[in-house]
Amino acid sequence: MKSYRKELWFEVPARRGFINITPRVRECLEDSGVREGLVLCNAMHITASVFINDDESGLHHDYERWLEKLAPHEPVSQYRHNVGEDNADAHMKRQIMGREVVVAITEGQLDLGTWEQIFYGEFDGRRKKRVLVKIIGE
């Protein structure tokens, strides 16, 4: 069995943002040489997500509004976690958007649905953060 590991680094200049990382995961898959197997892709931070959905700007705007309704950033004093920091909302946003995705590899390709794309979701940015890509198979 082949095994491949890579860390992808991101530095989102704003507090929040979504990045389509599908091309970078595809590069990892090509480097791995795996034709049949699985790719795991997970955020290595508790204030960021990896998730799969549509690459459509209206939807991303809707996510932003929805997440701000569920866990508003302000006022930061509403959260008990915010003693010496201000990112309690980011932990909650990460929880609901998820930690990781697993995608099947078939004939050397990511076996995604028609509109499925892999995203990095940042909820407490302006610093360097990592995503792990782990690929196993033959």
Give 90: exposed, middle or buried? Use CB within 10 Å, 0-12, 13-18, 19+: buried
Q: Give me the 56-85 binding string for Zn ion, x by CB under 5 A, dash otherwise.
A: -----------------------------x
Taking the alpha carbons at both ends of the chain, their separation in whole angstroms is: 5
Q: Can you give the length of the chain in residues?
A: 138
Residue 87 interacts with Zn ion (CB under 5 A)?
yes
Instruction: Identify which of 96, 41, 91, 87 has the alpha carbon closest to the alpha carbon of residue 66.
Output: 96
Q: Smaller CB distance to Zn ion: residue 69 or 80?
A: 80
Minimal distance, residue 109 CB to Zn ion, in Å: 38
Minimal distance, residue 82 CB to Zn ion, in Å: 8
Binding site for Zn ion (CB under 5 A): 85, 87
